[in-house]
Amino acid sequence: MAIRSGKFSKYGPIILLSVILGFLLAFVVFRYESIKRTLGLSNIPYEKINKTSQEHKDLIRPAIFNIEDFGGSMQLDDNSRALQAAIDAAIVTSTELRSDDKWDIYVGKVYIPAGHWRFERGISSEIGVEIIGDGVGKTYLDFTGSGTFMDFGSENEKFDLKIKDLFINQFHPDATAIHLNQVNRNSGISNIIIEGGGIGLSLLNCYTPSFDSFFIYNASKFGILGRNATNTDFRNFKVENCKVGVKFTNSDINSSTGLKFFGGVIQGCYDEGLILEDLTNFTSFSTFLEGNGRNEDKPQIKITSDLNEKFDNDIIAFYSPFITGGHSAHKDQNAVEVENTYTFIFNESFIRANDRILTGIKVGKNVINAEILNSKYSGVKQNFIVEDPATNLVLDPKLREGRGYGRQFLGLGSESGKTNNRHYMESYQGIFGNLKEGKIGIGTFNGKPSIQGFGNGSSYSMTTNPKIGDHISAPNGITEISGIKFATTITSSNVKTDKKSRNIIVNTNDGKRLVTISPSEEDIRRELLIKNSGTANNLLEVSSSTSNIENKKVLNLKDGETVTLLYDGAQWQIISKYTPTGN
């Protein structure tokens, strides 16, 4: 015991000193940057930090650099050098302060006081900084150069990049106010006005930024041009009187995913108000478009893709959009044009013609699914047209679960102000054809089968504006409605299919009727729609002469029931079936 005590007495002070020195060394290592700042050895230009931050330089949350402290003056014709110097100081501050693992807190800010400031050249930054003014009605930046004014276009990833409370006025028609590339978390712009130039806001490969409360107008090319804006939100904005209001497309790296609009206004643009091209998905909530498409053949919204099999539109969704022709849209325009898109959703919308819009929505080629629910139209000649027969058009939420026969809509013929054909759409049970010489609607009204025509589109030469609810049967055999892309047979007799008519509507009020599917339909693997339009409780029997319908020889349809059949190579499969309420 004495020996051990002697050893401790001999080596104890050395061990204790070693422990103390170890703690001191660890403290120096982990607090190196703080010690440098305390000793005044840091490169941070403290003397340039504004007075308030200087008084609390041990915290510096944030460090604010005033352009005036770097030689800026409202008397100068070019303050570019002063603004760049302030940004460089902010970069140094952000870089050094972030090295202490608290970089979420420390961000260099550049402050431009109220007044008119002139700039001939652009500025740039490779990391995230904040550029702030005193407000859009106080801090005015006049840019006379032809390039990019605020260029954050390097390939370095940028966090915490914010621009707010400024009015940027561009005088050259090719200038770009703000260009952002590789901008990421906690970044964006807010409370900004941009006037003139070629492009107001340019985005390239940006991820999760947010843009709020901004106004861009009078741009000669694009108000906003985005190439891959992923998980990016735009809120409470307005774009007005530009060549193209807003265009989003893909980049060489990727296409936009999670791009969202909330409460935006796009107004009075010469070409399209909004172009969506080659996006993964886009969602808009309560966007207002008015008077866009001043030039001929330009819609207010254009949704398209080049079908390069790499970045084609996947899901494009609008909820509660309001589109009006205003006083400047070109007459007879299509408000919305969509093509080359897998799923198009346009719900709870209102489209008002203002004597400018001819067609509300034009669903063109290569649209796989089009869902148009609870939409209202005022003054338009045609509510919507579906041009591609393969489009799965959904007008009833129940069809999402396979009920109804949304696939069979061929386009809507509507004469607003002349007849209330809107009721056909709201019944969700009709087929609408857009004919060359006139228009015709086949469906139900108040639960009763009806057919309504406009002009001389059918073989019956129906007169314009018949009474709603009138329907036509064919007591003398098969009647075909001419001009529809897929021929429709309307009859009260037995039917044998003949590869000509895809849609077969049989009135069974005079007794049970038969639909026999010929072998020729199976050769081409046809899809058929068959409906019992009767109301007298008589069955419509559907059968194939050579195969079964889902393992049954006969399929019976009651009054109002509709079925869509597809031949799979072995037998006919039921793709969807609609049964009216009460059957």
pTM over 0.75: no
CATH number of residue 519's parent domain: 2.60.120.640
Task: Check if the beta carbon of residue 34 is closer than 8 Å to that of residue 27.
Answer: no
Averaged over 552-578, what is the pLDDT? 89
Tell the burial category of 477 from Cβ atoms under 10 Å away from its Cβ (0-12, 13-18, 19+): exposed
- Res. 328 pLDDT band, cuts 50 70 90: confident
> Would residue 349 count as lying in a domain?
yes
Q: d(Cα 341, Cα 363) in Å, to the nearest integer?
A: 10
For residues 528 and 301, the model is more confident at 301
User: Is the pLDDT at 474 greater than 80, yes or no?
Assistant: no
Contacts of 91 (CB under 8 A, 6+ apart): 108, 125, 126, 127, 129
Query: Are 280 and 375 members of one domain?
Result: yes
Token pair, residue 281, equals 């998905």
> Would residue 155 count as lying in a domain?
yes
Query: Are 264 and 345 members of one domain?
Result: yes
* Among the ranges given (56-60, 83-87, 328-332), the one the predictor scored with the smallest mean pLDDT: 56-60
Task: Label the pairing between strands 392-394 and 341-347.
Answer: unpaired
- Res. 568 pLDDT band, cuts 50 70 90: confident
> Would residue 463 count as lying in a domain?
no
The closest of 112, 155, 157, 148 to 130, measured between CA atoms, is 112
Dump the DSSP string for 390-417. T-EEE-SGGGGGTBS-GGG-------TT
- Res. 150 pLDDT band, cuts 50 70 90: very high
- Res. 505 pLDDT band, cuts 50 70 90: confident
For residues 583 and 320, the model is more confident at 320
Tens of pLDDT, residue by residue over 372-399, are 988 889 988 888 888 887 888 887 554 4
The closest of 103, 112, 108 to 88, measured between CA atoms, is 108
Query: Are 126 and 161 members of one domain?
Result: yes
Quote the crossing angle between the two packed helices 32-39 and 2-30, to the nearest 10°: 70
Query: Are 55 and 157 members of one domain?
Result: yes
Number of domains in the chain: 3
Contacts of 460 (CB under 8 A, 6+ apart): 453, 472, 479
- Res. 462 pLDDT band, cuts 50 70 90: very low
Query: Are 192 and 265 members of one domain?
Result: no
Which domain, by its residues, includes 47?
A: 34-173+187-197
User: Which CA distances in Å does 92 have to 164, 262, 464?
Assistant: 21, 36, 76
> Would residue 338 count as lying in a domain?
yes
Tens of pLDDT, residue by residue over 406-447, are 222 333 322 222 223 333 332 223 333 333 333 344 444 444
Tens of pLDDT, residue by residue over 234-247, are 999 999 999 999 99
> Would residue 348 count as lying in a domain?
yes
Query: Are 244 and 386 members of one domain?
Result: yes
pLDDT score recorded for residue 439: 39
pLDDT score recorded for residue 461: 28
Task: Check if the beta carbon of residue 288 is closer than 8 Å to that of residue 268.
Answer: no
Averaged over 65-93, what is the pLDDT? 90
Query: Are 39 and 156 members of one domain?
Result: yes
Averaged over 361-369, what is the pLDDT? 90
Final residue belonging to a domain, choices 134, 162, 197: 197
> Would residue 414 count as lying in a domain?
no
Q: d(Cα 375, Cα 426) in Å, to the nearest integer?
A: 9
Tell the burial category of 20 from Cβ atoms under 10 Å away from its Cβ (0-12, 13-18, 19+): exposed
Query: Are 251 and 313 members of one domain?
Result: yes
pLDDT score recorded for residue 28: 65
Final residue belonging to a domain, choices 361, 394, 427: 394
pLDDT score recorded for residue 456: 32
Whose tokens are 């694009």? That residue is: 222
Query: Are 162 and 255 members of one domain?
Result: no
pLDDT score recorded for residue 163: 96
* Among the ranges given (36-50, 162-176, 221-235, 548-562), the one the predictor scored with the smallest mean pLDDT: 36-50
* Among the ranges given (137-146, 248-257, 451-460), the one the predictor scored with the smallest mean pLDDT: 451-460
Query: Are 356 and 242 members of one domain?
Result: yes
Query: Are 264 and 130 members of one domain?
Result: no
Query: Are 247 and 136 members of one domain?
Result: no
Q: d(Cα 532, Cα 492) in Å, to the nearest integer?
A: 10
pLDDT score recorded for residue 258: 87
Q: d(Cα 500, Cα 138) in Å, to the nearest integer?
A: 70
Contacts of 417 (CB under 8 A, 6+ apart): 379
User: Is the pLDDT at 400 greater than 50, yes or no?
Assistant: no
pLDDT score recorded for residue 500: 65
Tens of pLDDT, residue by residue over 104-148, are 445 678 999 999 999 999 999 888 889 999 999 999 999 999 999
Task: Check if the beta carbon of residue 180 is closer than 8 Å to that of residue 157.
Answer: no
Instruction: For the chain, give the mean pLDDT.
Output: 77
State in Å, rounded, how far the first CA of the chain is from the last one.
101
* Among the ranges given (162-166, 491-495, 499-503), the one the predictor scored with the smallest mean pLDDT: 499-503
Helices (H), 40-139: 51-55, 80-97
> Would residue 3 count as lying in a domain?
no
> Would residue 210 count as lying in a domain?
no
